[in-house]
Chains A and B, each alone.
Chain A
Amino acid sequence: MNALGDILPGFSRAIVRGDEPPGQINSAYPKHTVSTAIDVYRNNYLGNLHDALAGAYPVVGQLVGNDFFRRLTRAYIGKNPSRSGNLHHYGEQMAAFIAAFLPAQQLAYLPDVAALEWACHCAYFAEDAGTLDTGKLSRLGQEHYPDLVLVLHPACYMVRSPYPIADIWHAHQPGAPDDFHIDLDGGPCNALVIRNDDSVIVGELDDAIALWLSIIQNGTTLGDATAGTLEKHPDFDLQAGLSRLVSQGVFADFLVKGLP
């Protein structure tokens, strides 16, 4: 145990859990009590985490309204302590939390909207990387294509849902028209999140290329991913799909399995 190990855990539990503050804390101050001091820290603690969640999940906030969102964040904070000094890392478990949050059960699409918002949040803060060098790719002998392993750009994410989450997301962006209509039974959505010129863009992929990309994301070779996709979608057009993804900057690089 280090120099401060005898005091900080108790102080922490007083803030986070409302436990009795440790006795080493002075009890007399000119105009306030220890309880008020702990209350200020607790308010800061809850407020900072709430604000972090509100920053990462603006669409969820609009969909459920301020009061419900505050209930949701309070419950989330109670179950999911922060693990990072960087507040932008806070909120990763929100989609799973909403899925299990009883008061939100009627909004079946909400967990997937949250997953899309988290993907957008991560894309915004992701590291920079180059995009796949098509010249280098075209110089590669065609016999290597089946063994290509494509590396996704760190700001690229895909979120697949049975609900039209991309439409919901677009309808709740600043400046979007108020008179939107979204058909919740309008079929599944494969939302693709990319960063273009520093802006986070949400687009959609058809089922075949989405399946292919989901296999590629696991590090599977181009040959195996394509074979796996063709089993389910015999009309899958690899060349069209791949060139679209490459032009959108989905890939940062490639390597060839078995080559140094």
Chain B
Amino acid sequence: MKSSASHALPCVAGIGLRAPHYREVLQQLPGIGWVEVHSENFFGGGAPLHTLLRVREHYPVSLHGVGMGLASTGPLDPQHLSALARLCDAINPAAVSEHLCWNSSEGTVINDLLPFPYTQAALSYVAARVEQVQEKIGRRLLVENLSSYLSFAHSEMSEGEFLAELSRRTGCGILFDINNLYVNARNLGVDAGAFIRNVPAEAVAEYHLAGYSERAGINEGESCLVDTHNNPVYPEVWRLYEDALRHIGVRPTLIEWDADIPALPVLLAEAAQAQSRMERCCECVG
């Protein structure tokens, strides 16, 4: 029997594994700590699942969902939920995550990650749905903070406070996307320092890093940062990451790159940059 990779996400850097790199990764088996994939790409059998099972023989795998819609108004899609549960059983992932977002209303699905007002009522609602997912998959869920391009006047708390309370109520972990926080600081004036200081460190189970892009607005002089995952991590985001490492601690850290996907060595070099920051931080703490 082949030994399978260890169950917990190791506290090192990993990469988002996408289709253009499957073959190369399986042939070369580069020295990366773990990989993360988008869950929905493996809902079914055939080549996708069998490829992921081979990857799983060599690396811990994190399943990252983009389609559950934890805050959508309709019931959670039972087919989607069952598919995720089956995938978890097949892969025995080291982590399972979803986003703090909604994606459907009145039967129309918007296949994106959409923000909502952070109210007490929304908190109770989303908490019940996080519990429903955790019960179905039999595992703790990690919930990720979002990149947003707008906010709501009647929010009663910050996104960070919402996530902290969600974690307290449901036991879910927090997937802290540093790039998303930076995008929100620039787009919405969110206080990134307060987020890092106030998020419950023990609940943070993983970091994400990625590159945004800046888009011109529809009026002259406007601009907006868009979470495109198509660039190297920006220096400002690395700095925010170092702040997080100091205040929250070292956690498994993922480099996400989903569009204009570069050659594998470029991705591995980004992961190595994250790894060296993690190690430097360990030294300064130790």
Contact = CB atoms under 8 A, between A and B. Distances in A.
A93 interface: no
Consensus secondary structure, chain B interface: mixed
A198 B189 contact: no
Contact of B109 (A35, A83, A129): A83
B189 to A, nearest CB: 5
B188 interface: yes
B152 A85 contact: no
A20 interface: no
Contacts of A52: 111
Contact of A87 (B46, B67, B116): B67
A16 B108 contact: yes
B238 interface: no
Contact of A32 (B49, B68, B80, B149): B149
Contact of B218 (A24, A33, A49): A33
Given A9-B105, A88-B40, A36 B152 contact: no
B45 A85 contact: no
Interface residues of B, number: 58
A44 B113 CA distance: 10
B165 to A, nearest CB: 14
A24 B111 contact: no
Interface string A5-43: 101110110011000010011100111111111111100
Contacts of B31: none
A31 B80 contact: no
B156 to A, nearest CB: 11
B151 interface: yes
A30 B71 contact: no
A26 B152 contact: yes
Interface stretch (B118-126, B201-209, B263-271): B118-126
A82 to B, nearest CB: 4
A123 B215 CA distance: 38
Given A48-B111, A90-B111, A125-B44, A37 B117 contact: no
Interface of A: 1-5, 7-9, 11-12, 15-16, 21, 24-26, 29-41, 44-45, 48-49, 52, 81-88, 90, 123-129, 155, 195, 198-199
16 contacts: A7-B117, A8-B71, A8-B114, A9-B73, A9-B106, A12-B108, A24-B154, A31-B224, A48-B112, A85-B67, A85-B77, A85-B80, A86-B67, A125-B44, A129-B45, A199-B47
